[in-house]
Structure 1
Amino acid sequence: MDFAFLLETFLRLLPGVPLTLQLAFLSVAFGIALALPVALMRLSRIWPLVWTARAYVFVFRSTPLLVQIFLIYYGLGQFPELRYSALWPILREPYWCAIIALTLNTAAYGSEIVRGGVQSVPHGQIEAARACGMGGPLLFRRIVLPLAVRQALPAYGNEIILMVKATALASVITLMEITGLAAKLISETYRAIEVFIVAGAIYLAINYVITRIVHVLEHWLTPYLRPAPVPAASSRGEPA
């Protein structure tokens, strides 16, 4: 194996890491902001809101992300109303089209993760909070949401990792993130195996760091799950 070429490939793919991280984390951040109201719509008893949220989740979970990117990047420009609107400076840019597609996709999955987290909150804790005088937004902010975040964090960690890998699809609309630079390098060198090995190693390193961060957050948010310290024995050999 040509280690000199692998090092050169790594240095040429490295400039694509910031764009990959931008696409992933902006999409996840916007996706969380959208997933929460969609989840609340699903949990509400207002049937128009429930069915609207269900339709949104069904469409974006049941169609390929690549198709969604193509529809947003190529499809929206077919409508004159959009081409001559104030939104066109954003919708004509591949960067923002990728952000929009990734955001809408991850929000559909994220809303189900949030909904599952909210539904997993023990009913007894909600009743105890109501007995203390909490209700409405205060109950949701202080009791339901923190517990739901703890329950949903492992699954949302997986969603962040999936988003990092999904950014590779942004290369099809000319964005030069890691995969886009890898494809360009392959067209120049015709050495696909070495290039994709390096690209895969970069994705692996990014997702390893994300996994460890999520693990630390999960450990920090769940102190009640940590094993209790074992008391040390006394000097006389008697239990402490």
Structure 2
Amino acid sequence: MDLIQLAVPVLLKGLWVTAALTFVSVLIGFNLGLGLALMRLSSNRFLSGFAKYYSNVFRGTPLLVQIFLFYYGLGQLSLIKDNAALWWVISDGARCAVLALALNTAAYTSEILRGGLMSVPVGLVEAAQACGMSRILRFRRIEFPLAIRQALPAYGNELILVVKGTSLASTITVLEITGYAKRLMSQTFAIFEIFAIAGVLYLVINLMLIAIIRSTERFLMRHETSSGRHLTAPQPNRSTMIS
């Protein structure tokens, strides 16, 4: 009991850092991933090729390696050292972790959103074109909302993986949940108890995310379920994605 009273307040400090890392990384990664998905579906071979190779590189290498390359590797380059803005990002562990997490999740998000966009019925797009909708208006009112509905379950899994991925930020001196757990472990030597409490905190975060995602999915699909129709399409995840 004394250990719990000691550990919980300290780990809760890291909880806010974990939440901040997740929120900022997902915010950047989603927008970047959406852009990459559109580039991947573009008829321009340069844009689609760039998006494809970007996705392959970040999905094909471990997140931990990417974090180390950004934090320890890029700081050795004179180009980074001489640029104040780039050095500001790389020189801080938390900002570097956000950069790595955002770029990594953007690669997976692009594949998830690409699958959602490809699942939009061609007839709806053609009908919108026949009505004289511009490309931007068609995307905003028809393609994107339908793609989000289809992609949400797979994207929910990606959000959970991002939360768990924030634990790797502790390897570059960021004191989030795992970082504080390592510090407490070295002070108390209660390895099992400390990391069990940390695991419970991660579980609580992810259970809350799952509840939010399911509620959002039910809200978005309320019209289909109420009319007895439920559109489904296979969505990629980290274990089934192909180039």
> Does the pair score TM above 0.5?
yes
2:78 maps to: 80
- For residues 227 and 51 of structure 1, what CA distance do their matches in structure 2 show? 41
Structure 1: give runs of 5+ residues left out of the alignment: 230-240
The count of corresponding residues between Structure 1 and Structure 2 is 227
Range with bigger deviation, 81-90 or 66-75 = 81-90
2:43 maps to: 45
Report the secondary structure of 1:226's partner residue: helix
Residue 173 of structure 2 is aligned to residue 185 of structure 1: no
- For residues 46 and 92 of structure 1, what CA distance do their matches in structure 2 show? 36
Q: CA deviation at 1:90?
A: 2.2
2:164 maps to: 165
Residue 7 of structure 2 is aligned to residue 9 of structure 1: yes
Sequence identity of aligned pairs in percent?
51
Q: Deviations over 1:42-89 (max 9, x none)?
A: 101111111111110000000000000000000111111210112212
TM-score (norm 2): 0.90
Q: Deviations over 1:91-126 (max 9, x none)?
A: 211111001000000000000001000001111211
- For residues 27 and 11 of structure 2, what CA distance do their matches in structure 1 show? 25
Q: 1:29 to 1:78 in 2, by over 3 A?
A: same
Which residue identity does 2:35 align to in structure 1? P
TM-score (norm 1): 0.91
2:239 maps to: none
2:61 maps to: 63
1:198 maps to: 197
Q: CA deviation at 1:224?
A: 2.1
Correspondence list, 1:115-154, <5 A: 115-154=114-153
Q: CA deviation at 1:227?
A: 4.1
Q: Which has the larger radius of gyration?
A: 1
Over 4 Å off, 4+ runs = none
Range with bigger deviation, 111-120 or 125-134 = 125-134
